[in-house]
Amino acid sequence: MSFRKCRRIADLTQREAAAALGLHQSAVALWEAGKTAPRAALLPKVAELYGCTVDELLAPDPPKQAISSDTT
């Protein structure tokens, strides 16, 4: 999964997640854009807030499958 996907599954906005973690919304946006990552000490708090594991937060999203154009 990704930070964005976990946050959305938790039904939180970036602003709500940031407020719950005592951060600015731009910090959450930067995580989701892959430009920065939260400090290691913050990862368990993020995972708890999002209702997932740290492993799920850090796991890469699987590649998107190409849509088959088979018209048999």
Confidence of residue 71 (pLDDT cuts 50, 70, 90): low
Banded model confidence at residue 58, pLDDT cuts 50, 70, 90: confident
Structure tokens at 59: 């796991």
Domain ranges of the chain: 3-57
- Please say whether the beta carbons of 30 and 71 come within 8 A: no
Please tell me the predicted confidence (pLDDT) of residue 18: 97
Can you tell me the mean pLDDT for 53-60? 88
| Region 60-67 average pLDDT | 67
Query: Mean pLDDT across the chain, nearest whole number?
Result: 88
Contact 46, 18 (CB under 8 A): no
Tell the CATH superfamily of the 3-57 domain.
Answer: lambda repressor-like DNA-binding domains (1.10.260.40)
Read off the pLDDT band of 67 (50, 70, 90): low
Averaged pLDDT for residues 44-71: 80
